[in-house]
Chain A
Amino acid sequence: MKVGIPRALLYYRYGEFWKSFFKCLNVDFIISPPTNKKILDQGVKYVSSEVCLPVKIICGHLDWLKNKATHLFLPRFVELNNGLYTCPKMIGIVDIARFHFQNYFQIISPKIKNNFYWTHFKLGLKLTKNPLKVKNAIDNAQKYLNSYPKLKANGAPKILLLSHFYNIYDYYISQPIIETFKNQGFTIITKEHLDNKRLNSTKGFAKNIRWVYERELYNAFYYFLPQVQGVCNIISFGCGPDSLISEVMLNEAHIQNKPFLQLIIDEHTSATGLITRIEAFCEIIKKRLDNNVSSIIL
């Protein structure tokens, strides 16, 4: 038995947890390599052209895994803490995988509906008979869920890079963006720099948002907005939740007179175009800092 885990979508959030979990249970697993051009090109073939980039990427990863693993681990995240939904595409991705890759491997897709712990416990019991071992494995793995990078304080101007984890930590997508900001001398803040309690707070507009990752994005935006010099929001084309919440954030940023850059990406986006836009955006922030002008409206 060899379990394949695609390095895409939810891997960037729960990947370390799953790695540790399977290692403790002595399950052999294989993780697809970081996204590259070939994987993306394969993925595009499987789904309709309208879905968002991360879904196309995960299909490419599944394609890579298809002859290398006997089982596929792809949990179905329906609801997370207190009935917050993930997103239609994350719920449906398991079905899409079933349509295309049913013949290649057996799909293990536990359904997570407000029961992250128990779902993994039940899954563990199928793999080993010893419940104590399963409990230990989950407890060991859990430390990876709540680890956050510490924010280094220096004098450099700060930029808030707002996007889903599967966009930011997939370096194939985000590398040109992050590199350009760093080259321009900015410190990048992401939502992972905020603690769990603040991320899930229900203050203000956040209580209306029922998508769990969007709520986190909005809370991070709301908390960091006064501290940063500009906000950059990466949206994958066709992302439904982002199209709404980004608009709300854009309005808020306008009211507070903060520069706000929306970058919409898909598989046709060229890195050069992105870099030019980001450089122009950085120039605006720098000019504002130099002149202390707060009346430039973006």
Chain B
Amino acid sequence: MNNSLMVNIARFILLVFLQVLILNNINFAGYINPYLYVLFILLFPFTGNQSLFLFLSFLLGMSIDLFEDSGGINAAACLVVAFIRPHLLRFSFGISYDHQNIRLSATPFGAKFSYVVLMVVIHHFILFSLEMFSLSHIILILKKTLFSSIFTIVLVFLSLSLFSRKYR
């Protein structure tokens, strides 16, 4: 338990710094940036305290906002995906999520893929909608959501396979 706490704190700090110092400066093709920090929300223990999880997700988004000067858009997006995560987990992994402590690395690829894609796309869509803050930019919002999501999803799977621990 204690080990898991330390891992999550370290992951939180590392992801914030990685995001603001490196990933926010990529600007591929002018505006495409990956938002890898959602990895924290994706990997937070499934059976952990839900209230704490909501609060930490808010704090994560707020730290990014502080660096990016973007008000509260990252905080809002993180909060929403954290709130709907139990539903998405049930959707992607079936009922097994309710009964046992499954690990992301030990799940079938299809289920993992749908979980990651749904979380990332919802997060990005809320993020960019709040950033533009007007429906007249809907095409730009969808465009940014699409390209940034692809970028983020690729990075998420790369880091999952890089840092996955082998069992048995």
A, B in one complex = no
Q: Which residues of chain B have a CB within 8 Å of any CB of chain A? A: none
Q: Which residues of chain A have a CB within 8 Å of any CB of chain B? A: none
